[in-house]
Amino acid sequence: MTDQSLNPEDNTAAQAVLVETPFQRFVSEYADNKIAVVSLVVLVAIVVLAILAPWITPQNPYDLAQVSIMDAAQPPGTEAFDGYTMWLGSDGAGRDLYSAILYGIRISLMVGLASGLIALIIGTAIGLVAAYAGGRVDTLIMRAVDLQLSFPAALIALMLVAALGRGIDKIIIALVVAQWAYYARTVRATALVESAKEYVEAARCLGLSHGRVIFKHVLPNCLAPLIVIGTVQTASAIALESTLSFLGVGLRQTEPSLGVLISSGREYIISGRYWISIFPGIALLLTIVSINLVGDQLRDVLNPRLKK
């Protein structure tokens, strides 16, 4: 035996060799659940279709020149005035439903993601400050959060949209106001746990500024629950937008989100023209359910307490 092999540092060096990267482990754990994989595939397909909508749809439903009233409320499979086949039928304004749905998903996803992201940023910042500052600041912020969460999100959004008026920007503002508190509460809870850990104290002992400690050290450790709540809240933002649009206070008829399409088909459904409401409804259902299932699986994978 040589002196070299007695050196304990050799062992530790060997231990540190990587078997798989954390990302590879994450992927293989995610793939354990087949339903989650299918959901992810469906979600990706929906997103791709929505992004490619202008190139793969026969009609631009926003362009009034392309929409013909002659095609109004035609059943699935009818040939349109312009010569293409309307596989999913058309709505009361003569829009091809297949095109309208893809454009509708675009709007719904855009509204959901934008409001989700803005609410996440605002809520996270507020939650982190509350947890790190503690004391009166914390109490004040968290009572505001409690107050807000005691009202249903739909009610708050409804009141705001009623006050602000219609339009995409106003809907996004309303959704952000309705949802930031969920992020703030989650982040605060996680950040409180993290702040008590020694590495935060150690970071302060290095002479780092408060901002650096909060955003560089505490925030990255709060990401797992943030990702999970972010997916779930995005799905709920999409549902909320559809609800508002369905109730007629959300988006205008000229910007047909899925909710607007479903709402516009309501008056036809009694006369048997089911497709105007049903097909956008199915699209909405698939979108929300797939996002939620993906979020569930993310929660299971990212939460160490649920690990087998």
Partner 1 sequence: MTVLSVENLQTHFFTRAGVIKAVDGVDFKLDRGEVMGLVGESGSGKSVTGFSILGLVDQPGRVAGGSIRFHGEDLVGKSEEQLRKLRGGKIAMIFQDPMMTLNPVLRIDTQMIEAIKAHENVSKREAWERARDGLGAVGIPSPEERLRAYPHQLSGGMRQRVAIAIAFLNNPDLIVADEPTTALDVTIQAQIIHVAQKMCHERGAAMIWITHDLAVVAGLANRISVMYAGRVVEQGDTDDVIDNPRHPYTVGLLGSVPSANRRGEPLMQIPGMTPNMLNLPTGCAFQARCSRASDACKQAPVPSGEGHLVRCFHPYERVSA
Return residues touching partner 1 (CB under 8 A).
8-10, 12-13, 15-16, 18, 135, 197-199, 201-209, 212, 216-217, 220-221, 223
Q: Give the number of C-alpha atoms closer than 13 A to the C-alpha of residue 66, restricted to the C-beta side.
A: 13
CB of 26 to partner 1, least distance (A): 14
CB of 185 to partner 1, least distance (A): 22
CB of 14 to partner 1, least distance (A): 10
Separation between Cα atoms, residue 285 and residue 244, nearest integer Å: 16
Q: Which of 188, 194, 259, 187 is nearest to 230 (CA)?
A: 187
Would you say how long the chain is, in residues? Answer: 308
Beta bridge pairs of residue 90:
96
Cβ distance to partner 1 smaller for residue 2 or 12: 12
What's the token pair of residue 145?
A: 């959060």
CB of 248 to partner 1, least distance (A): 46
Beta bridge pairs of residue 86:
78
Beta bridge pairs of residue 78:
86
List phi, psi (to 5°) of 96.
Answer: -65, 125
From the CB of residue 142, how many other CB atoms can be counted at a distance below 10 Å?
Answer: 19
CB of 192 to partner 1, least distance (A): 14
CB of 202 to partner 1, least distance (A): 4
CB of 33 to partner 1, least distance (A): 25
Separation between Cα atoms, residue 265 and residue 118, nearest integer Å: 32
CB of 203 to partner 1, least distance (A): 7
Cβ distance to partner 1 smaller for residue 64 or 137: 137
Cβ distance to partner 1 smaller for residue 124 or 290: 124
Q: 58 near 99, Cβ under 8 Å? A: yes
Helix residue ranges, H only, the chain: 3-6, 8-15, 22-30, 34-56, 97-133, 135-149, 153-164, 168-195, 198-205, 210-212, 219-221, 223-246, 258-264, 266-269, 275-302
Cβ distance to partner 1 smaller for residue 118 or 224: 224
Cβ distance to partner 1 smaller for residue 216 or 252: 216
Cβ distance to partner 1 smaller for residue 12 or 271: 12
Cβ distance to partner 1 smaller for residue 38 or 202: 202
Q: 156 near 176, Cβ under 8 Å? A: no
Cβ distance to partner 1 smaller for residue 41 or 140: 140
